[in-house]
């Protein structure tokens, strides 16, 4: 992957890559892939003040000086590390069991999110079968950004 950075504005901010990266397996723009503190501040600034945005090339150890919007992937070494972490997390939880040793990070979050999703599906199924969903669903959506959408779907039923 090669991209030559060419200046485009009168304001310039050069950032070096960060060790911390988002572990999405898909291509991400460099400003999204790198996840160090400077990149988090930059992303917030770009969201809140898009018209004040400086030109932001990134000095990458792997790619050289690249535009901030250049899509980049995880390196093969990072993919290997991610796979090992994921597999060790699965082994720790499903082979030895979750109580043997407290685990942190990736495997815990993924397992918790799956549990929450399955628990919500069970709750919805039970209340739809007993025809009590319409009376009780608002108790579950007290902080949901989707409450208006769900209200419309329930009213249309």
> Does some domain include residue 131?
yes
Residue 31: predicted pLDDT? 92
Instruction: Tell me: do 45 and 102 sit in the same domain.
Output: no
> Is residue 8 domain-resident?
no
Res 1 pLDDT > 50: yes
Specify whether 66 is located in the same domain as 86: no
Beta carbons within 10 angstroms of residue 140's beta carbon:
15
Q: Are residues 61 and 41 in the same domain?
A: yes
Structural domain containing residue 35: 15-72
pTM, two decimals, is 0.49
- Sign of the CA dihedral running 27, 31, 37, 40: negative
Is there a single domain that holds both residue 38 and residue 64?
A: yes
For residues 7 and 19, the answer to whether their CB atoms sit within 8 Å is no
What is the DSSP secondary-structure string of 76-125?
HHHHHHHHHHHHHHHIIIIIS-TTSS---SHHHHHHHHHHHHHHHHHHHH
| Shared domain check, 84 and 68 | no
Same domain? 68 vs 107:
no
Of residues 61 and 31, more confidence is placed in 31
Higher pLDDT, 148 or 100: 148
Digit-coded pLDDT (tens) for 37-92: 999 999 998 888 888 888 888 998 888 889 888 999 887 877 777 777 666 655 55
Q: What is the pLDDT of residue 29?
A: 92
């Amino acid at each position: 992957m090669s991209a030559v950075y060419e200046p485009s504005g009168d304001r310039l901010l050069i950032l070096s890559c960060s060790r911390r990266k988002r572990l999405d397996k898909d291509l991400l723009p460099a400003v999204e892939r790198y996840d160090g503190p400077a990149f988090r501040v930059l992303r917030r600034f770009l969201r809140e003040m898009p018209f004040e945005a400086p030109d932001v090339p990134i000095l990458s150890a792997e790619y050289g000086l690249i535009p901030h919007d250049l899509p980049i992937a995880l390196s093969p070494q990072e993919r290997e590390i991610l796979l090992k972490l994921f597999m060790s997390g699965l082994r720790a939880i499903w082979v030895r069991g979750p109580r043997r040793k407290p685990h942190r990070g990736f495997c815990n979050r993924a397992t918790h999110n799956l549990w929450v999703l399955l628990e919500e599906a069970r709750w919805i199924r039970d209340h739809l079968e007993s025809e009590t969903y319409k009376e009780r669903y608002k108790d579950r959506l007290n902080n949901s950004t989707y409450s208006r959408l769900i209200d419309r779907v329930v009213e249309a039923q």
